[in-house]
Structure 1
Amino acid sequence: MAWAILGFDKLEHLSRLIILRRILQRRSKELNIKDAIQSIDNKFLSNNQAKRQPTYNYSLNQYLECLNLEIDQLSNIGLWNESVESKVMNLLTQQCLPLDIAEAFELENMLSDSFRRPRKTLTTRWEGYVRGAINTALLPYVILEDAQKVESILRPYNPYAMDSKVIHLPNPLSENVLKALRIKKNPYLLRVNKEVILNYVESCIPDDSLNELTYNPHRIEVKAIIIQNNQINFADVLNRIDYKIFAKDYLQNIETHPLSIYTSVGPSSAFLGSYTPSLPTPQFMELTDTNQSNFNRKVWRNGRTNDSANFGRPYSEGCVLTLKNSNIMLPSNMQLAWMIEINGELVTIVNQHNQSIKI
């Protein structure tokens, strides 16, 4: 009854229903809310009513182009067709009243212009209108399982860890790396807090540059690779590590090299920063008999400069992927090695004994 009083039974937004259902399920052991969950489930088609559409050869108009990637994913799973597109356009037309859709679209673009933002930039207000219309239009056509996929596809989220998730890293690797290279030694970087580094990315301002009027940050990246029989094929290694995915690709099966350790993440959009830790590959987890819980993904930010021209950039910030278990079990003919790059230039490759490997 409380469900009806709160008005949730009138909610027709697919993604909000799925999110609400997920929240209720987490509390289902504490509260008697089975009726509420069942009310949400009743809004979707039953499995025997599911009707997948063949691939729809669509050509998006200018009003829907802002979500072309999401619509393409919906089309791939058979949930975008002519009737859905028509319903989305009708909903947008109603929402724009008393203006017609062309006038409302131009008004939103002029708003972007006034803030000196590109018209096709991400997360505009018009994009929000389209996202909402698609969520409403699709509700009558999907089963619960498909609705969960749709929510993930249409979810606007920030792939960057928010401030509550950002940690302070007392001794970032940059200090160790730069000091060791100055005296022509290999930096010791195999472990951080007894964890094995698999991928480490940091932007830092070296100590000797802090007093300069113009800061010149260094970008340092450490990339773990697997070598066989203590030999390294440089071209093969590049094929393993230079694979990036975008935030929206998380749901898709990522094809990687059989010996790749991680996939680095290139966010399709990021607010307040751009550092997103890499993801361990299924192949590496199978090879080392590990799972997601054995890995740590962290983002950190240390200090702030007083450089107003650069908006008080941090002294150092970055992200890291580590394996908790320092004893990695690899086949006898395989071992880990680490590539060290500074500002995109390969500086050295070291093995697990901290010895340089010649290419």
Structure 2
Amino acid sequence: MLLWLARSDGAWLPNLATLAFSMDRRNRADIAAAILDILSRENSATLWRHIESHVDVAQIAEQCRHLSRLVTFMRIAERAGKRSIQSAEAAARTLLDRFSASSGMPASARDLRPPEYVPPSLQGVWYELSELGLLTDGALQAFASQMADCCSPLGINMGRELEALVAEGGRENADFSIGRWASTVRFALNAALIQPMPASLLKKAEAVLRTYNPESLVEPENGNDLLAGLIASLENGKERSFAPAHRNLVFLDLVCFMELQGRVAHVELTAHLIPPGQQQRVRPTPPSFKATELPRPGPEEPIAVCGRALPAIAYLGCISPAIAAPRFLQLVGAQPSNTVRYHWRHGSTVTNLASSRRHEAALLAIERDALALPDGWQMQWILRVNGHVRVVLSKF
């Protein structure tokens, strides 16, 4: 909703900019930064002109000690600078000058185990930061200090217990990686790691700590229609009769979380190429990017159809549409413009009292007329529900 408002009315942008690059400990600042980052990708010059007079670059460089928010502001300025906006170029240089040009870091701490108050949902983040060499003795001391400040006047363990009770009262999942306590821990990590930080590691560290989907997700006009045939086949046990297509669109990859028989189900439909003379057995397609990253096709495998996204708990979208592999498009004689990448919220199957906002769908499809397989080549679709193969399809 906030992203829609920001796109619809530029009057919101100055307030978002003031919040986004502050040291506000609440996640609302992270959401504001996410929205500005997405709008910057869509039109960097326009966004910069909206926020330029409302942000004090020198003050942000001095007072914003939050790694992710500062790097996001730097990225916004760099994009506008590439459009020959001099004030943006100067802002990007000012921010970058704050960090060392050296690629060296102090040695990692000997004990890299996460403290007990780091929730399980963030332990993967912890180990990724460790692999980057960012968890030095100094960083761990700064992290502990930041956690103490966030929980003051209470102790860290008492603060964690109280946050758990508040989250329970709000029916928040204890494993929620952007929940109340996890957001506190992530804030402390962002504040602790910003110094010392070589410029060469800034963007890598920000990518690990990112909490939002950075894509400009496009919603179709007919999301319910796109899924209607699949839902009917799953509910009636007629999956074998399902055709992975809708009108002029042939599905290449579909991922969705929907309610089936009163429970949330993870449904995946993946397309695979079958070369001439090969037995009709295909390997699972591993993800090539996370939902918190921009899409990339992945390794150039000869028979890869697309690069798929790994779902992640994230603001603005927990799943992303796949992206067609260049070699696949070349094989069938299509252009990227012949494909569509859609994302939408889908609550048509919801019958219980839970929010339908968690029911998402992401689709990569190609125009039927643009899908011209060479002689002898075939395609196969595998439908999985909660990781289990439900049916293998060969007709569209």
Q: How does 1:85-234 map to 2 (within 5 A)?
A: 85-158=140-213, 165=219, 167-169=221-223, 171-172=225-226, 174-175=228-229, 189=244, 192-193=247-248, 195-201=249-255, 222-229=269-276, 231-234=278-281
CA-atom RMSD in angstroms: 4.7
Q: In 1, are the aligned partners of 2:382 and 2:392 still within 8 Å (CA)?
A: yes
Q: In 1, are the aligned partners of 2:258 and 2:347 still within 8 Å (CA)?
A: no
| AA matched with 1:349 | L
Decide whether aligned partners of structure 1 residues 184 and 95 sit closer, same or farther in structure 2, where only a CA change above 3 A counts: closer
Give, in whole Å, the separation in 1 of the partners of 2:331 and 2:241. 28
| AA matched with 1:136 | A
Give secondary structure in 2 for the equivalent of 1:172: helix
Deviation at 1:205, TM superposition (A): 9.4
Q: Is residue 12 from structure 1 mapped to residue 55 from structure 2 by the alignment?
A: no
**Could you tell which deviates more after superposition, 55-64 or 335-344?**
335-344
Give secondary structure in 2 for the equivalent of 1:27: helix
Decide whether aligned partners of structure 1 residues 275 and 167 sit closer, same or farther in structure 2, where only a CA change above 3 A counts: farther
The structure 2 residue matched to 1:320, chosen from 348, 360, 363, is 363
Decide whether aligned partners of structure 1 residues 285 and 53 sit closer, same or farther in structure 2, where only a CA change above 3 A counts: farther
Say which structure, 1 or 2, has more relative contact order (CA 8 Å, 6+ apart). Answer: 1
Q: How does 1:34-113 map to 2 (within 5 A)?
A: 34-46=89-101, 49-52=102-105, 56=109, 58-66=112-120, 67-113=122-168
Decide whether aligned partners of structure 1 residues 332 and 205 sit closer, same or farther in structure 2, where only a CA change above 3 A counts: same
Deviation at 1:305, TM superposition (A): 7.5
Give, in whole Å, the separation in 1 of the partners of 2:108 and 2:66. 24
Give, in whole Å, the separation in 2 of the partners of 1:126 and 1:78. 25
Deviation at 1:89, TM superposition (A): 0.7
* Structure whose residues are more often helix by fraction: 2
- Give identity over the alignment, percent: 22
Gaps of 5+ in 2: 1-51
Decide whether aligned partners of structure 1 residues 177 and 253 sit closer, same or farther in structure 2, where only a CA change above 3 A counts: closer
Give, in whole Å, the separation in 2 of the partners of 1:151 and 1:26. 17
Give, in whole Å, the separation in 2 of the partners of 1:167 and 1:184. 25
| AA matched with 2:125 | E
> Rg: which structure is higher?
1
Give, in whole Å, the separation in 2 of the partners of 1:106 and 1:142. 32
Decide whether aligned partners of structure 1 residues 169 and 250 sit closer, same or farther in structure 2, where only a CA change above 3 A counts: closer
Deviation at 1:60, TM superposition (A): 1.2
Give, in whole Å, the separation in 1 of the partners of 2:196 and 2:309. 33
Q: In 1, are the aligned partners of 2:292 and 2:314 still within 8 Å (CA)?
A: no
Decide whether aligned partners of structure 1 residues 288 and 185 sit closer, same or farther in structure 2, where only a CA change above 3 A counts: closer
Deviation at 1:40, TM superposition (A): 0.6
Q: In 2, are the aligned partners of 1:167 and 1:300 still within 8 Å (CA)?
A: no
Give TM-score, length-normalised by structure 1.
0.70
